[in-house]
Amino acid sequence: MIEVAEAVFGFRRACIAATGAALLVGTSASPAWAQADLDRLQAEFVEPPADARPWTWFHVMSGNMTREGITKDLEAMERVGIGGIVLFHVTQGISYGPVKFNSPEHLELIEHVAAECERLGLKFSFHNADGWSSTGGPWVTPEQSMKRLVWSETVVEGGAVSLGLRKPGTVEDFYRDIAVIAYPSLAGEIADQANPAAVTSSDRHFDLDRVTDGEIFTQSMFTAAGDEPGWVQFSYDRAVPIRGLSVRNIGERDVKIVLQTSDDGVNFQKVREFKKTRLLRAEWEIDESFAPIDARHFRVTFDHKALIGEIALSQLASVANGSGHSGMGYVPGNKLPVQVAPPVADVLSRDAIRDLTRFVDEDGRLQTTLPSGQWTVMRFGYTSTGARNVNPSPEGNGLEVDKFDASAFGVHYDAFIAPVIKRAKAVAPRATTGVMIDSYEVGGQNWTAGYDSQFQQAYGIDLKGWLPIYAGRFISSSAATTGMFAKIRSFNARLINDNYYGEFARLMTEEGLESLIQPYGLGPFDELNVASAASIPAGEFWVRRDDLSNLNGAVSAARIYGKPVVAAEAFTAVWDDNWFFDPAFGKKWGDRAWIAGVNQFFFHRFAHQANTHVMPGMTMNRWGSHFDRTQPWWDKGGAAWFTYMARGQHMLRQGRAVSDVAMAVGSNSPVTCPQKSEASKHLPAGVDFDCIDTPTLLDRSSFVDGALVLPNGATYSMIWWPDDRVPSAAEIARLEAASRAGVPVVFGHRGDTPTQVFNAAGLKPRVSSPSGLPSFTHRKSGSADIFFVFNDSEHGKAFDLCFRVSGKQGEEWHPVTGGSQKLAGSVDGNGCTNIELGLAAHESRFLVFDETFSFEPGDGANATDVQTLANLDRGWSISFDPAYGDVKNLTGTGLFDWSKSDDPEIHHFSGKATYRNSFEVTADSLERSPLISVSLGHVETVASVRVNGQELGTVWTAPYAIDISSAISKGRNTIEIEVANLWVNRLIGDAALPDTSGYVPEDNIGYRPEENLPKRDMVGWYSSNQPPPPGPRRTFATHYFQKPDDPLTPSGLIGPVTVTIQDK
């Protein structure tokens, strides 16, 4: 009961704080600036400003779009306190609507979206292309598309050579030559040619000729029979030392590929399983080099079917994961494999490489003379990667723009982005705020027109003499080869940062708009550099994923580059959550993201409800948490939760974030920023880190009083080099300079550990405890220290905490209610502000410390007495909202779980119902000037409380209690509780009934475009925004997650409901 009383007290203080703070802000009196600032902040905590509201991604699915639906959706967003939208158009698993992407009708409807945002005070942004990643469309030609280096090779005898060179693999019928080179064949190449393998397969339909012809873009489907893995076998006439395996253009992510060996061709032993590298959205490869394995027979096994482009074993020592090293395959630079030292006979001398380009005619025929011996001739060129925007409509589907060429981005900008901006600004000059690039899902790129000349200008190196490394050859040495690859990857990262993300940000600045960028994905770039270009860097987090993947790069960049807002694609989900999603479930995932540094949510997702006559209606096929206006909890539960978000987001934008450690992530492109869930395990409890990039380490930092200090004031008491690989010469020099300046430095490559260095330097965590700690994040604003603390546990906990805040005392501010109260605590001689803090499961608070605050007198142990005034366990009337079903109202009933009712109309009811009861309050009770509250016990899902006709608020998370003092009068008091549950039970009930809608749900999802496209058009009544045909079902949805025999979920006001009284 104490827990309930504390929560309710926080609610009541909201009213007091709002009145007092508003008066102070509105008067001409001017106390100390710090106090005035805190008063303003407390007033804004109670009533957060509009710019702190959460936003949502607004998904138009498969061209299902209507003016009426747009208006109704946006009005519903404004009503509950959503601040803005990012408009997406996605075609995936939902039947085609009538509106074609980029048609006049479509552009007029986008204009209507923007105009309605302007009318309603919402902010309008949009994704830069059709689909959810990245930047492409039908106007992009192969010449303007992403490009990759390709090659063909052959071994010839010296002397007069007249040879038609095979044209390398070509995509989109686009190919340009780069160079033809030759070199004396290496020992492994000669051995492969002298002793070719006999290749067989367990799958007689598998086209072995096609997958061994050196052409990676022609695939054959391999099928494993039954439950046993299938195989491709390489048999030699004698034992040979195999040093490498390549399986290219694998079209399946999850297939397991294993190498086996045998001496007799019958009994095989497993050597190892291989990890695949991803090149494109639907292209993986294995390109492995290893110490020689001697055997006569080798099998490569596949545990299930997969498209294969090319497969080969080789006796040549080659570069392991050449595609990763060149930037075509995605591997973070510090995760690239350490190369096995090649034998000298498999290493090329640069002096031995001959440029034969001038001896090749336009048809690819080589005519030249070479010295005697065997020569390897390689023809290098480039083609399109064939990458296309992800999950677009047929009308918006097209090649991805060349990420290394700003002019290619300009083509897309002029074709789609600029016209939409022009239309939006014309009707919504205040609302139109930005354009977004979502997470990068379109794969690698390692070439562009003029790449070699640009590289030579940047590094003074002619790449023609290094082209064989792209084909896995070592030149000069392993170190020289990997060193050149490092330059190539760094150059790739610079090109994409400047010509794609940087060009996008530049154009947005010219338009006076914000650039919203998610700076991560499977691409050849450095996360922090990309995020530094954005007005608002954004990460993402998923429910039910504890790693909070893809947040820390955006958060760290915002902190080190002084960007006040860092956003997140928020609450993304797979199909498990569907209509089960509610505010109480979502809270803990949002709180975790706040702890990680996010201060702006973009909900994933709100599906546009084109038809205004159905519920729950449109989905995003299987994806996303269901932030939809059709949710029964939306209007009141949503509004309460979104106000909570606005309070938190506003607080988490004050001042600057505080972290202890700067993790130097280096310059080995692609450079990523590790997620905190794993990296923080290496730090002392209560110690946090941000990533800093090499430009910041080298050029944007100084050493002050034994700390690393950035231009925006961010200060770090320790630098951590976490990698076991040696930093670059410039990086090591800077780290050693920091150490000499008194900054503690963790040299991971020398065996240092962060905890040892931190403790040895005499550093202390900002928050410590003799037992466990809550999760927390810390900001400093003026003289105030602001902590958001969160009990990330399924159980309530009591924390004994030391805050090192220079002896300041503090208050606790309750984000659920907007209330606040003084903390009880003490300041000791060791620099600790000590408090005891009790937090219920997944409960959170803001703790604000300032020199002007004082603790609650005493030790906080004198809790006031809480007494029960009434137990309302029976005598309830329940009125079910007829908009959701034909349920007879109940009178004189007790509280119960609707899903347990014998009445099918009740146990399948989804919607809203109002409970009514009354209780007596005596004059004596009122004279005590009490706090009177009601605890609702178990609520599924949200409940709004009225007493004597006065609206008192909505409870949406535990402990489901609220202060009702302001509405109480002497005598009989009437209480009304409106409860909203989930759609789940009604959908389960309807699943057993005939479906007269005529709609057949799509059930397609995959990595390839053809696997995502709908198979049919949307039913006519839906597209014309008419009611569905008559039938027994009360619901309609575009994807059905529930089945008739699924268990029902608890629903309603289950209680117990208790009215309590507490002395003030």
pLDDT band at 33 (very low <50, low <70, confident <90, very high): very low
Give the number of other CB atoms < 10 A from CB of residue 665: 28
Task: Tell me what pLDDT residue 859 has.
Answer: 62
User: pLDDT, tens digit, for every residue of 579-604?
Assistant: 999 999 999 999 999 999 999 999 99
Q: How confident is the model at residue 332 (pLDDT cuts 50, 70, 90)?
A: very high
Query: 721 forms bridges with which residues in the sheet?
Result: 747
Look at residue 677 in the predicted model and tell me its pLDDT.
84
* Dist. CA 804–CA 778, nearest whole Å: 11
pLDDT tens-place string over residues 861-888: 555 688 999 999 999 999 999 999 999 9
- Is the CB of residue 617 less than 8 Å from the CB of residue 625? no
Average pLDDT of span 837-866: 86
Through-space distance between the first and last CA atoms of the chain, rounded to whole angstroms: 15
- Residue 34: per-residue pLDDT: 63
Asked if pLDDT for residue 2 goes beyond 70, the answer is no
Please classify residue 705 by burial: count the beta carbons closer than 10 Å to its beta carbon, then call 0-12 exposed, 13-18 middle and 19+ buried.
Answer: exposed
1006 pLDDT more than 90: no
Query: For residue range 139-149, what is the model confidence (pLDDT) as tens digits?
Result: 999 999 999 99
**DSSP letters of 285-327?**
EEEEEEEEEEEEEEEEEESS-EEESEEEEESS---TTHHHHHT
Q: What is the pLDDT of residues 701-759, one digit of tens each?
A: 999 999 999 999 999 999 999 999 999 999 999 999 999 999 999 999 999 999 999 99
The percentage of the chain sitting over the pLDDT mark of 70, rounded to a whole number, equals 95
pLDDT level of residue 137 (50, 70, 90 thresholds): very high
Q: Average of pLDDT values for 901-922?
A: 97
Q: What is the pLDDT of residue 860?
A: 54
Per-chain mean pLDDT for the chain: 94
**Would you state the torsion angle of the CA atoms of residues 865, 870, 873, 878, taken in this order, to the nearest 10 degrees?**
-120
Average pLDDT over residues 937-962: 97
SS (H, E, C) 165-199: CCCCCCECCEEEEEEEEEEECCHHHHHHHHCCCEE
Enumerate the β-bridge partners of residue 312. 246
Beta-carbon neighbour count of residue 416 at 10 Å? 24
Alpha carbons 920 and 534: distance in angstroms, whole number: 59
pTM exceeding 0.85? yes
The residue type of 147 is K
C-beta of residue 505 within 8 angstroms of C-beta of residue 498:
no
Measured CA to CA in angstroms, residue 430 lies from 51, 56, 78, 324, 433 at distances of 13, 18, 16, 45, 7
What domains does the chain contain, in order, with CATH numbers?
A: 51-141+389-440+518-651 (3.20.20), 657-760 (no CATH), 767-850 (2.60.40.1180), 863-993+1033-1064 (2.60.120.260)
3-state secondary structure 207-248: CCCHHHCCCCCCCEEECCCCCCCEEEEEEEEEEEEEEEEEEE
- Do 906 and 1064 meet the contact criterion of CB atoms below 8 Å apart? no
Q: What is the mean pLDDT of residues 34-42?
A: 87
Q: Is there a contact between 567 and 602 (Cβ–Cβ < 8 Å)?
A: yes
- Length of the chain in terms of residues written: 1064
Amino acid present at 927? E
**Distance (Å, whole) CA 481 – CA 475:** 6
Using pLDDT thresholds of 50, 70 and 90, give the confidence band for residue 1009. low
Q: Which of 25-34, 627-636, 681-690, 984-993 has the weakest average pLDDT?
A: 25-34
3-class DSSP assignment, residue 702: strand
Q: Are residues 83 and 54 in contact, defined by beta-carbon separation less than 8 angstroms?
A: yes
**SS3 of residue 622 by DSSP:** coil
Tens digits of per-residue pLDDT, 447-470? 999 999 999 999 999 999 999 999
- Alpha-carbon distance of 222 to 1010, in angstroms, equals 19
Dihedral over Cα of 953, 958, 960, 962: its sign: negative
| Rounded Cα distance, 308 and 286, in Å | 11
CA dihedral for 134, 138, 140, 145, sign (positive or negative): positive
- 24-38, 271-285, 343-357, 642-656, range with the lowest pLDDT: 24-38
Q: For the segment 180-238, what is each residue's pLDDT rounded down to a tens digit?
A: 999 999 999 999 999 999 999 999 999 999 999 999 999 999 999 888 899 999 999 99
What does the pLDDT read at residue 934? Answer: 98
pLDDT of residue 19: 31
CA angle 378, 381, 384 (to 5 degrees): 140
| Residue 8: band (very low, low, confident or very high) from pLDDT cuts 50, 70, 90 | low
The answer to whether residue 697 scores a pLDDT higher than 60 is yes
Label the pairing between strands 123-127 and 432-437. Answer: parallel
How many CA atoms lie less than 13 Å away from 243 in the CB half-sphere? 20
Q: Is the pLDDT of residue 31 over 60?
A: no
